[in-house]
Amino acid sequence: MLNTNMNALGIIFPNSYDALVPDLVNVRMMASIPFASRYRLIDFILSSMSHCDIDNVCVMANNNYHSLMDHLGSGREWDLVRKNGGLNIFPPFAEKGNKPYSGRVDALASLLGFLRNQKEKYVVITDTNIVMNFDFNSMIKSHIESGADVTVAYNEQELPESLVQSKSNDKGFYYTFGIENGRITKIYVNPRETGVQNFSMNIYLLDRELLIDLINTAFVRGQAYFERDVLLPNLNKLNVQAYKYDGYVARITNLKSYFDENMKLLDDYNLDSLFSGFPIYTKIRDDTPTRYIEGAKVQNIMVADGCLIEGEVENSILFRGVKIAKGAKVKNCILMQGTVVEAGANIEYLIADKNVLITAGKEMKGTDTFPIYIGKSNTI
């Protein structure tokens, strides 16, 4: 448990990198994208914060936030129902004069009044496009021991091909670091290098008063991006320390990576690596157990409650309430909540959003490099 001089409040940006997965965020934001049969992406970061006694959490919504608000509710599942603090959702236009923000500086500037009135010493800032089971207490301890002004989490990995091959910055910025003796000496914006890099996880820890000062200055200057416009020019003035994360990391950088990162969890090693730390909480829904009707065949699947399986399912992830009719064949698919696959349908390498209907006898096959996506509530 954090003691009084180590406590922190959390700020989550649920819309960051929405542009990477335009199909999946047509009716929602990045944070509320379903993942691993029963969760939403935000569940992982919220659960990590909750387990580390970060019980004052701000969610800075920008657009498409209705689905997220429905999922989070009062925050009860993450033990964030508090008289003081707890879960706070800040949509755009929450205050007079507010508008959708273009970068973190805009968003944090709109939060300055709130930040000044809080009691926590530290602030943790994070996005939701990375699935992980993160120990914030360890990061805070490292921050204090190093005497850092700012600590930034990173992991070592090759840059995703979809980012490296992008010819513009219209899908957002990503960062790698040059590190000397634990200190970040260089920040590279949208690099194209191959090989293993010190890849930013966009998790930032700093003193609340320092954050207020930095955002005040940046906002007056018309700056937009915290990493590019605030940290990068101040690397010589601020002690910016790197915190290496060695745990399981699943980054969502495009539709294919979403498909791949889900499918990786069908491997027990990856599943244990992600879920062996803190428990991951999500919205509670009382469903009946999944039923397997006589004649059903299943192999290597991840399935949530409330499903009905009469056909054949292999190497697939089924969310709540999915129905697979007799004679239907499902292989290498992600079927979100309420999807129905009728008799005789044959689908492979397919992502079906919520409440999709695959009609009887329909055959659809994508590939492992190009899975087919079907939008919410469509009938095929």
- Tell me the mean pLDDT in the region 337-361: 98
More confident residue, 96 or 151: 151
Q: What is the mean pLDDT of the chain?
A: 93
* For range 208-220, the mean pLDDT: 96
pLDDT for res 98: 55
Distances (CA, A) of 234 to 180, 187, 214: 16, 11, 10
291-374 belongs to which CATH class? Answer: mainly beta
**C-alpha dist (Å) from residue 370 to 37, 129, 254, 351, 365:** 21, 20, 11, 10, 10
% of the chain beyond a pLDDT of 70: 96
Task: Report residue 36's pLDDT band, with 50, 70 and 90 as the boundaries.
Answer: very high
- How far is residue 250's CA from residue 229's CA, in Å, rounded to a whole number? 27
CB 330 within 8 A of CB 322: no
CA 215 to the chain's CA centroid: 24
Mean pLDDT is lowest, of 218-222, 237-241, 254-258, 290-294, for: 218-222
Which of 59-63, 169-173, 197-201, 342-346 comes out lowest in average pLDDT? 169-173
CB within 8 Å of 6: residues ≥ 6 apart: 121, 122, 137, 140, 141, 144
| Residue 95: pLDDT over 60 | no
Distance, CA of 259 to CA of 322 (rounded, Å): 18
Tokens, residue 125? 């800032």
State what percent of residues in the chain have pLDDT above 90. Answer: 86
Give residue for tokens 């805070």.
140
**CATH C-level class of 8-275:** alpha beta
Instruction: Supply the pLDDT for residue 97.
Output: 54
**Measured between alpha carbons, how far is 266 from 176 in angstroms, rounded to an integer?**
30
Residue 172 has what pLDDT? Answer: 83
* pLDDT above 70 (res 116): yes
Q: Global pTM?
A: 0.94
For residues 321 and 287, what is the distance between their CA atoms, to the nearest angstrom? 8
Q: What is the pLDDT of residue 277?
A: 87
pLDDT at residue 29 tops 90: yes
Candidates 45, 199, 244; CA nearest to 133 is 45
Strands 39-40 and 240-244 come out as unpaired
Q: Classify residue 159 by its DSSP letter.
A: P
Q: Residue 4: is its pLDDT beyond 50? A: no
Question: At 2, is the pLDDT very low, low, confident or very high (cuts 50, 70, 90)?
Answer: very low
What number is the average pLDDT over the span 5-18? 88
Task: Give the mean pLDDT of 340-353.
Answer: 98
Nearest residue to 179 (alpha-carbon basis) of 243, 249, 237, 251: 243
Residue type, 205: L
Three-class secondary structure of residue 271 per DSSP? helix
Residue 102 predicted with pLDDT over 80: no
Average of per-residue pLDDT across 5-15: 86
Q: Where are the domains of the chain?
A: 8-275, 291-374
The pLDDT value recorded for residue 67 is: 93
Tokens of 12: 């989550």
Average confidence (pLDDT) over 251-270 = 97
Per residue in 38-79, pLDDT tens? 999 999 999 999 999 999 999 999 888 899 999 999 999 999
Phi, psi of 125 (to 5 degrees): -115, 135
- Three-state secondary-structure class, residue 41: helix
pLDDT interval class at 3 (50, 70, 90): very low
22: tokens are 């335009």
* Largest distance between two CA atoms of the chain: 68
Neighbouring-strand partners of residue 186: 178
- State the pLDDT at residue 176: 97
Name the nearest CA neighbour of 179 among 188, 171, 170: 188
Considering only CA atoms, which of 226, 220, 263, 27 is closest in space to residue 127? 226
Is residue 9 a contact partner of residue 208, using CB atoms and an 8 Å limit? yes
Among 16, 69, 53, smallest CA distance to 203 is for 16
